[in-house]
Amino acid sequence: MSFFEAQNISISFGGLRALNQVSFEVNQGEVFSIIGPNGAGKTTIFNCINRYYDLDEGAFIFKDKDISKVRPHMVPGLGIARTFQNIELFANTTVIDNLLLGRHRHRRTNLLTETLFSRSVRRQEMESREKAEDIIDFLDLQAYRDQIVMNLPFGVQKTVELARALTMEPELLLLDEPSSGMNMEEREDLVFWITDIKEELGITILLVEHNMRFVNQLSDRILALNFGVVIAQGTPKEVLEHPEVMKAYLGEESVSA
């Protein structure tokens, strides 16, 4: 059984079929990319995994369990973390507070003990703090630790978004266009980080991206979507040279040329 699997998922919004019988498999420890022109349905897949939308048909199987019907806030508990295309950070709080929120799913205390700030709460807080600091070191965010997120440059905000997802200690990480809005330097750093995440932390990564070089460098396997339908699936070499894929991105003319 594969680590994560989408089985014939379909969803429609009004009359528009956003996803049509899409299936793919992700193996543990690999970087799996989803590419496709705008509107192909890539972010929709993520939103379905996160349970912001209900699937019309099909299922998601994660570690042999069907996760298609769980409540949205239970998804992190399963070990799935996600970043958002147009960052959804907690804008009015500091970077470190954002990261500490990522630790929420590991919370073992309850309201009563927290009100009294008992020993267990104290221990949990220090542990969270330590883990968050590890991630800050990992992604070089030390300089921004106590700054309000709203005031940071966009590229840094994206990194904070990634950091927050990492503090959740996920097994599966969903990255939605992590490199969009970043400059060359930041993008290079991101390539290294994602490789590190895969190799050092052993996290499986599901990546939605537009930047082909990026995708080519990082992916083990790729899924290409167009208008909600799978048009190719396989290794980077196979998919990126696939005529359908080229047609979707570059148009009819260029393929025949």
Partner 1 sequence: MEFLNEIVQTILSGIAIGCIYGIVALGFVLIFKATEVVNFAQGEMMVLGAFIAYSLTTFLGFSYWTALLLTTIALGILGMFLERVVLRTLIGEPVFVLFILTIGLGTFFRSFVSMVPGWGTDTYGFKTPFTDKVVNFANLVISWEHVSVIVMTIVLILVLFAFFRFTRIGVAMRATSQNQLAAVYMGISVHRVFSLTWIISGALGGIAGILLSPITFVHMNMGFIGLKAFPAAVLGGFGSIPGAMVGGVIIGVTESLAGVYLPIGWKDVAAWIILIAVLIFRPEGLFGIQEKKKV
Partner 2 sequence: MRFVMKKDYYDNIRLFKYRSTFFWYLALVIGCFLLPLVLDEYITSIISLICMYSIATIGLMLLTGYGGQVSMGHAAFLGIGAYTSAILTSKGLPFLLAMPAAGLLTGLVGIFIGLPALRLTGLYLAIATMGFGFIVEEIIVRWEGLTNGNMGMIVDPPSIFGFWFDTETRFYYLSLILLILFILMARNILRSPTGRALIAIRDSEVAAQAMGISMLKYKTMAFAISSFFTGISGSLYAHKLTFINPESFTIIVSIEFLAMIIIGGLGSIHGAIYGTTFVLFLPQVIVMTKDYMPKYIADQTGLPAALYGLMIVLFILFEPMGIYRWWLKTKFYFEMFPLYKKDTFKRERKYVKAVRQ
Binding residue for partner 2 (CB under 8 A) from 34, 35, 36, 76?
76
- Give the integer Cα–Cα distance in Å for 182 and 100: 24
Residue 75 sits in the site that holds partner 2 (CB under 8 A): yes
CA angle 193, 24, 76 (to 5 degrees): 55
- Give the integer Cα–Cα distance in Å for 140 and 55: 38
- Give the integer Cα–Cα distance in Å for 218 and 203: 14
Residue closer to partner 1, measured from CB, 53 or 249: 53
Looking at the DSSP assignment, which residues form a beta bridge with residue 229? 226
Binding residue for partner 2 (CB under 8 A) from 74, 143, 250, 255?
74
Single-letter residue type at 73:
H
- Give the integer Cα–Cα distance in Å for 235 and 21: 21
Partner in contact with 126, chosen from partner 1, partner 2, none, beta carbon below 5 to 8 Å by kind: partner 2
Partner in contact with 256, chosen from partner 2, partner 1, none, beta carbon below 5 to 8 Å by kind: none
Buried b (16+ CB within 10 A) or exposed e, 151-164: ebeebbbbbbbbbb
User: Which segment (85-93, 129-137, 144-152, 209-217) binds partner 1 by CB under 8 A?
Assistant: 85-93
Q: Measured from the CB of residue 88, what is the shortest distance to partner 1 in angstroms?
A: 7
The one-character DSSP state at 70 is: S
Binding residue for partner 1 (CB under 8 A) from 20, 47, 128, 219?
47
Q: How far is CA 166 from CA 5, 25, 39, 202, in A?
A: 22, 22, 27, 12
Residue 126 sits in the site that holds partner 2 (CB under 8 A): yes
Partner in contact with 105, chosen from partner 1, partner 2, none, beta carbon below 5 to 8 Å by kind: partner 2
**Residue ranges in contact with partner 2 by CB under 8 A:** 50, 52, 71-77, 81-82, 84, 88-93, 97, 100-105, 107, 109, 111, 114-117, 121-122, 124-126, 128-130, 133, 164, 168
